[in-house]
Amino acid sequence: MKGFWCRGPLPWLGAVLGVYLALPLVAFFVRLAGSGQRGFGVPGLAGALYVSTVCATVSVALIAVLGIPLAYVLARSRRRMVGVLGMAVQLPLALPPVMSGILLVYIIGPYTFLGRLFGGHLTSSMVGIVLAQTFVAAPFLVVTARAAFAGVDQGLLDVASTLGHKEFSRFVRVALPVAAPGIRAGLTLAWLRAFGEYGATVVVAYHPFTLPVYTFNQFSVAGLPTTQAPTALALLAALVVTVVGRARLPRRSSTPLPSATPPARLGVPRAMAFDVHASAGGFHLRVGCQSQSGHLAVVGPSGSGKSTMLRSLAGVGAVHAAKVAMGGRELEAMPPEARKLGYVAQGFSLFPHMRVQEQLLFAKGASPGEAAYWLDQLGLTGLETRLPHELSGGQRQRVALAQALCRSPDVLLLDEPFSGLDVPVRRDLRRELRNLQRTNGVSTVLVTHDPEEAAMLAEEIVVLIDGRPVQAGPRPRVYGNPVSPAVGRLLGVANMHAGTVGGDGYLVSEGVRIVGGLERFDPGTTLWWSIRPERIELRPAGSAGLTASVTDVTDLGSVVDADAVLGDHLVLRVRSFEHVEPGPCSLRLPAGAIDVWPASPDDRLPLEGPRQEGFIRS
């Protein structure tokens, strides 16, 4: 504690305000303890306490029923009229309470339309008190709840929609529980504000007396002594309500899951086709694909449209979809809860208030037996009662997968599901998902920037750049035959370079003669070529081969990676199991290890569809 106060001025500045707020309370209780006349026997005290308590409670009940949905709409909508309404809701906070009462008189006064309709009973009654308290206290709940709803991760609501839940269900079962701490704080503030309201109440309904009106009357007639009792009761009520507002309901116990029941739809992965024309902001996406294997990966750099494509298919996020079709179904007009597509978003989008078991059973149509099956398949048995914050990153991602699978989706959409995990955990989860694909027949569309992950989890690959597919096809063909250096880099192809065929049939790259036997190509033809780092033979300087110089060495433990420069500019990555020192060397490039294929005219492909160039091994 001593160290805390020595950290800087912040604790001391906070302490000044804390002392200022506490001193009047201390002075009051000192006076109360030593006073012989406190005012507890004065007539009307119990009635005033009753009126304030009942009216404040009724007022907060009205505020809760109407204000919580209003706060949700204000937090989730970006329409201009909703923004104007949000500003209007806050106006009572800026008005002196007496003026708030005057404004209400224009609406509910005895000579207004509403006043005459209710026989003048909207003022000078407990109804009038409730109306006045509601007007001045509602903004405290709406503003606080709006901030709480705005803090609810949109990804949680998106995942809930893909699990089959409509808007009202998402509000009740996701947004409301997640925002509950802020809502409880807002309700507490609203009750305290309503209970202590004076100015608007005096204007709208002077009788019956509320506790603040009663206290002011006692102060006006007898001074401070008889105000001690109502002040003490008000402090006690505030304390009780604050404690109740901070209390949390006990969590209900979980019912143990029955024995595992395999889903009825397990089998062979389905062939799938989709077509997406969509835009997000100023970005436009157009991609179509037909997959025969049922396991597809979309690879591309950041900003290429991978996640936009997946969100378009799932029907979530701020994406304007002109056309979304999958498996012959037009999806753009279909809500996400009706698309029957599983969606695993980035960042472990688990519901923070649900245990693991509840996460799985949250999916529409999920059965306890199937939930038990996926818990077992993904190694989550024994974790059923844990909350997300009690799980490791890998366990959270397994729960997210199991949750989506409990929906029994036609296709499982995976948005870089392992990007936030440590390397060993990511490696293990890849193996588990690969095994899941093989044993359970789950059709998957994976988007990733990791070529190793794509190669491990997909039979077919689509390379996406700037919202357009530049290459697509079976994994061996795409990885073995990238259409450009840009695609090669995305796919992790090492040592990919351009070269020109000479008149003697040799391929020349950066002035270095690489490989011969290419007489079938016209002189001057541009070709791409590559060689795997481990196929290059590193020899001492002066040995047979190409003269080079090792400029950089990286010891990876089991292997050594080295950069070797040939000529002036040609850099090749070499992988060796032996120790390597920087300096002059010779390189042997086995002809059978060099892949050569014709170059595309540019790094992009026409919009009609992805291109597959012929593959030639020299």
Q: Which of 459, 402, 457 is nearest to 431 (CA)?
A: 457
Residue pair 323/275 in contact by the 8 Å Cβ criterion? yes
Residue pair 442/435 in contact by the 8 Å Cβ criterion? no
**What percent of the chain shows pLDDT beyond 90?**
51
Q: Which pLDDT score is estimated for 605?
A: 31
Peptide bond before 208: cis, by omega within 30 degrees of 0?
yes
| Biggest CA-to-CA distance, the chain | 117
The last residue of one of the domains, among 477, 506, 523, is 477
Question: What would the DSSP string read from start to end of 546-611?
Answer: EEEEEEEEEE-SS-EEEEEEETTTEEEEEEESS---SEEEEEE--GGGEEEEEPPSSS---TT---
Using DSSP bridges, classify how beta strands 295-299 and 320-326 pair: parallel, antiparallel or unpaired.
Answer: unpaired
Q: Which of 541, 528, 455 is nearest to 495 (CA)?
A: 528
520-554 residue pLDDT tens: 899 999 998 999 999 999 999 989 999 999 999 99
Task: Give bridge partners of residue 469 from the DSSP assignment.
Answer: 464
- Mean predicted lDDT score pLDDT of the chain: 87
Find the domain containing 168 and state its range: 39-246
Most confident of 98-112, 405-419, 436-450: 98-112
Q: How large is the average pLDDT for residues 140-153?
A: 95
Same domain, 158 and 242: yes
Same domain, 334 and 241: no
Q: What share of the chain is helix, strand, coil (3-state, %, to 5)?
A: 45, 20, 35
**Two tokens at 107?**
């609406």
- Whose tokens are 């818990």? That residue is 375
Q: Which pLDDT score is estimated for 268?
A: 66
In the chain, the number of structural domains is 3
Q: Which pLDDT score is estimated for 604?
A: 34
End-to-end CA distance of the chain: 74
Q: Which pLDDT score is estimated for 125?
A: 92
Residue 561 within a domain: yes
Tell me which DSSP letter residue 149 carries. H
Amino acid sitting at position 172: V
Tell me which DSSP letter residue 78 carries. -
Helices then strands, each counted (H, E), the chain: 22, 21
Q: How large is the average pLDDT for residues 230-247?
A: 91
Peptide bond before 598: cis, by omega within 30 degrees of 0?
no
Whole-prediction pTM value?
A: 0.82
The last residue of one of the domains, among 418, 448, 477, is 477
Question: What would the DSSP string read from start to end of 11-30?
Answer: HHHHHHHHHHHHHHHHHHHH
For residues 385 and 271, the model is more confident at 385
**Taking 60 as the threshold, does the pLDDT of residue 465 lie above it?**
yes
Residue 105 backbone phi and psi in degrees, to 5: -60, -30
CA 335 to chain centre: 19
CATH of the domain at 190: 1.10.3720.10
**Two tokens at 51?**
């009126």
- Three-point CA angle 412, 417, 419, nearest 5°: 160
Q: Which pLDDT score is estimated for 259?
A: 80
Q: Is 614 left (phi over 0), alpha (psi -120 to 50) or beta?
A: beta
557-590 residue pLDDT tens: 889 999 999 988 899 999 999 889 999 999 999 9
Q: Which pLDDT score is estimated for 617?
A: 32
Most confident of 65-74, 390-399, 468-477: 65-74
Residue pair 393/283 in contact by the 8 Å Cβ criterion? no
Same domain, 466 and 520: no
Residue 101 within a domain: yes
**Taking 60 as the threshold, does the pLDDT of residue 615 lie above it?**
no
Q: Which long-range contacts (CB under 8 A, 24 or more apart) does 327-332 make?
A: 327/270, 327/272, 327/273, 327/274, 327/410, 328/273
Low-confidence winner among 143-147, 348-352, 458-462 (lowest mean pLDDT): 348-352
Same domain, 91 and 132: yes
Same domain, 498 and 460: no
Using DSSP bridges, classify how beta strands 460-465 and 560-566 pair: parallel, antiparallel or unpaired.
Answer: unpaired
Residue pair 342/404 in contact by the 8 Å Cβ criterion? yes
Same domain, 178 and 219: yes
Residue 72 within a domain: yes
Q: Which pLDDT score is estimated for 609?
A: 33
